Every structure is written in C-alpha cells, then in structure tokens.
Amino acid sequence: MSDGRSGHRGGVTAPAPAPAGSESRGFDPSAVEVLLCDADGNLFPSEEPAFVASAEVTNRCLALLGIARRYEPEELRLTSTGKNFRSTIVDLAQQTGLADALTREMLERWVAEEKRAVSTHLARALRPDPAVLEPLTRLERRFGLAAVSSSALGRLDACFTATGLADLFPPERRFSAEDSLPAPASKPDPAIYTFAGRALGVAGARGLAIEDSVPGALSAVAAGFVTIGNVAFVAADERRERVEALYAAGVADVVASWSELESMLT
C-alpha cells in the first residue's frame, strides 16, 4: 500500500497491457494546449484517506435515515470511486427505498459535514510527492494545467495545499462538479468537463483529460476530450481490471506515472 509519498503503489511501475482486441485511439500531442487533470487518485493518493473520514459521516447519515447498512472505508471506496458524496448518499438511500427520507435540507447538511470532515483529514494525511510535482512542473512550462474534479472546492484547496500543487493549479483553474456548476452533477455526467472546457476556451484535441477512474473517463470522453488513463495510485491488485475498464470507457492510452505521461507528450 502507498504511504502517500510515492507515485507508484505496491512497487508496480507499469499498467497492465491493453486488453486483446482493443483498438489504438492515438492522438496528436502537438494539438494539446491544456491538460485537464482529475484530482483525487490522480494528482494525489487521496481516495483511501478520504474514505476513512467519509465512511464515518456516511454511516452516521445512514443511521439517521433508519438504514441499518454500515460501510467500512475500503468497501465504500470500491462502491463509489469517481463519484462525490452527494451522489453516493443519494444512491445508497435509493437502493434501500428510503430516498424520500433524505430531504434536500438534510442532504445539504450532510454534504457540508462530509466536506468538513474529509478536508480536515486530507490536510493532515497528504504530503508532496516528487513523482507528481516534478513532471507536472515541467509540463506546466508547455501546457496549461487545470483540475476537473467531482470533489468540492474546499476539499481541493486542502489537497493542493498539502501536496504542494497549489501554485500549479491556482483557484481559477480548479473546476468542481459539486461547486462550480449551476447545479451539482457528479461524473460520469460530462457537465463539469464541458463547463471547464468552455471556461478555458478549449475543446476537442486542444484539451487532454487525465483520469484514474472509469466515471471520470466516461465524463471526459462524453465531453469530447481525448482522455488518458492514469493508474499511478491504483492498488496493484486492482490495476489490471482498472486498465481494462478504462480502455472500455474510451481512453486513448493508459500510463502508470506522470513521468510516463510527460514522455508521451514530448
């Protein structure tokens, strides 16, 4: 398991090969102007520590709704990777037939509580990672960088500060499906990528999306962006399945590190 300081997990430095029968979806690096980077699990290994805090809030919310089901952090992560808390708690309430008990006022209260708990925990848990910082610093000299995430802006602020990425991704280039849109719409909905593309003035081949999750890849592809999968922070025992799922979602290629992406764009 990662300690949050390495760009690779479990000593694995390369993704599984593309599944047999998959077609090459090459792209022209010379056309790329902006890198549209998912945040959690892509720029930093925030998924596992985030779900430690999120599971506690989720279980308290479920108890208040009268739902007996409880989730361990890892179980919740596997259930909801790529989605934000808002979408996850609504889905869980719907699965148990108690969606009507989750009023809008209650949902907003729990969304705010989860933002607070997770942001506080991540600010303590994350650290700068040279395997991310150094390639991105070089890439920033050639491309615009932007963060396109399902997470709330407060959580992103805490993560970027803790990992030393704040200067590379200034606030005006952070786009949140929770906070930036007129109405929240978590990935795989393409709304946040469409919104970010319009705000940055890029579309199609001019923007390259970098995603670790299947919902994120589906979101970026649906918005019309060439997408690269990144499994740098994916657990070794989940990597092969994730690579296959990313290709199925429409990514052009998959890398195992930010250095590998840098080489691809050279």
User: Domain 29-46+127-264 in CATH: superfamily?
Assistant: HAD superfamily/HAD-like (3.40.50.1000)
In this prediction, residue 261 carries a pLDDT of: 97
CA separation (Å) from 13 to 4, 140, 167, 232? Answer: 16, 23, 27, 8
Question: Is the confidence at residue 160, as pLDDT, over 50?
Answer: yes
Share of the chain above pLDDT 70, in %: 90
**pLDDT score at 21:** 45
Query: What is the average pLDDT value for the chain, to the nearest integer?
Result: 90
Q: 253 pairs with which residues across the strands?
A: 228
**Whole-angstrom Cα distance, residue 171 to residue 74?**
30
Is the model's pLDDT at 23 over the cut of 70?
no
- Fill in the DSSP letter of residue 158: H
- 111's CB contacts (< 8 A; 6+ apart) are 85, 86, 89, 152, 178
pTM comes to 0.81
Return the pLDDT at 83. 79
Outline where DSSP puts E strands in the chain: 34-37, 144-149, 174-176, 207-211, 226-230, 253-255
Name the amino acid, one letter, at 240.
R
